[in-house]
Amino acid sequence: MEFQGKIALVTGASRGIGRAIAERFAKGGATIIVTATTNAIEDVAKEISSKYNVEVLGVAGNVSKEEDVEKLFNIILDKFGKIDICVNNAGITKDTLSMRMSADDFDAVINVNLRSVFLVSKAASLIMMKQKYGRIVNMSSIVGMRGNIGQANYAASKAGIIGLTKSLASEIARRNVTVNAVAPGFIDTDMTKAISDKAKEDFLSMIPMEKAGTPEDIAEAVAFLASDAAKYITGHTLVVDGGLLLR
């Protein structure tokens, strides 16, 4: 029960990687707040709560909107009075070649993937600095390190997360708050189901471990960075990709 007594927020936890992270913290005994864009998140919260016998609160909202983030943190503080772990996981793709990409689709991906990390981390770190304890983990991607055809908006957002992570880590390290990122490779979720079979085959053929990762593989890396075992690690980006970045 490594996370007993901890209050953990996971954004974008209705499915895929976010849900696996929420379940990993639940397994460790944490109290969890999960978010997604619709009220369906309340059912997800109930399911996780009854499976692991921990308190789970579902809050609907758009993490790229300042007023929604403010509401979310008011709820967290009213109900729990603190936040120990904050995982910025919510993300979207709107893939197409740069020359065909609209400015609106560029902005949409930057807003949901990167602006949200700024807004949520800012709110969380204000509380964590006062507590003199906190763990922030941001979901980047190896695409933010190597780029990818058709993903200029997504790659920019995920590279931005790495820069934000390093900057915030330096700013608040002295208050015992760590800020790290995880960079997954190719993980089997709804997000990657949208990719064409050909692109999927190309990705899989490049992975030295010859298979896609699972949401649970990413959840374990997040749990490590949020645990006491990682208390002297900050500003780091942990790649979890079966070796894909080596190619």
Q: Binding residue for ligand NAP (CB under 6 A) from 101, 129, 145, 191? A: 191
Name 158's Cβ contacts closer than 8 Å, sequence gap at least 6: 113, 140, 141, 143, 144, 183
**What is the pattern of x (binds ligand NAP, CB under 6 A) and - over residues 125-154?**
--------------x-x-------------
Q: How far apart are CA 37 and CA 35, in angstroms?
A: 7
Residue 104 neighbours by CB distance under 10 Å: 9
Rg of the chain (C-alpha set): 17
Beta strands in the chain, from DSSP E residues, in sequence order:
7-10, 31-36, 56-60, 85-88, 134-139, 177-184, 237-240
Is position 14 an interface residue for ligand NAP (rule: CB under 6 A)? yes
Q: Would you say 111 or 131 has its CB closer to ligand NAP? A: 111
Contact range with ligand NAP by CB under 6 A, out of 22-30, 75-83, 86-94, 96-104: 86-94
Q: Are 35 and 56 in contact (CB under 8 A)?
A: no
| Candidate segments 9-17, 118-126, 128-136, 230-238, binder of ligand NAP by CB under 6 A | 9-17
Contact present, 24 and 216 (Cβ < 8 Å): yes
Compute the least distance from the CB of residue 143 to ligand NAP, in Å.
7
Nearer to ligand NAP, 68 or 84 (CB): 68
Using the rule CB under 6 A, give the single segment among 47-55, 75-83, 189-197, 229-237 that binds ligand NAP. 189-197
Helix (H, G, I), strand (E, B) or coil at 30: coil
Span 25-54, contacts to ligand NAP by CB under 6 A: 35-38
Binding site residues, ligand NAP, CB under 6 A: 11-18, 35-38, 62-64, 89-92, 112, 139, 141, 184, 186-187, 189-192
Catalytic residue ranges: 154
